Amino acid sequence: MSIPSVGQPAPELEMLNDEGKPTRLSDYRGQKVILYFYPKDFTSGCEFQACQFRDHHADISGRNAVVLGVSADGVESHQQFREALNLPFHLLVDADNTYSKAWGAYGERTRADGSTYQDIIRSQYVIDENGVLIDVQAPVNYKESIDLAMKAIS
Tell me: pLDDT of 154 over 80. yes
Summarised one tens digit per residue, pLDDT across range 37-82 is 999 999 999 999 999 999 999 999 999 999 999 999 999 999 999 9
Residue 74 covered by a domain: yes
Q: What is the CATH number of the domain that holds 107?
A: 3.40.30.10
**CA dihedral for 53, 58, 59, 60, sign (positive or negative):** positive
pTM as predicted: 0.95
Residue 130 covered by a domain: yes
Residue 18 covered by a domain: yes
Residue 6 covered by a domain: no
Which residue from 70, 78, 84, 88 is spatially nearest to 18, judged by alpha carbons? 78
Q: Which of 10, 13, 46, 126 is catalytic?
A: 46
pLDDT at 4: 83
Split into its structural domains, the chain has a count of 1
Residue 99 covered by a domain: yes
Residue 3 covered by a domain: no
From residue 120, alpha-carbon distances to 7, 100, 105, 114, 154 in Å are: 24, 7, 6, 17, 27
Residue 8 covered by a domain: no
Summarised one tens digit per residue, pLDDT across range 5-46 is 999 999 999 999 999 999 999 999 999 999 999 999 999 999
**Residue 37 in contact with residue 105, Cβ under 8 Å?**
yes
Domain that holds residue 80: 14-153
Tell me: pLDDT of 89 over 90. yes
Summarised one tens digit per residue, pLDDT across range 39-50 is 999 999 999 999
Residue 108 covered by a domain: yes
Catalytic residue check, 51 = no
DSSP for 69-104 reads EEES--HHHHHHHHHHHT-SSEEEE-TT-HHHHHTT
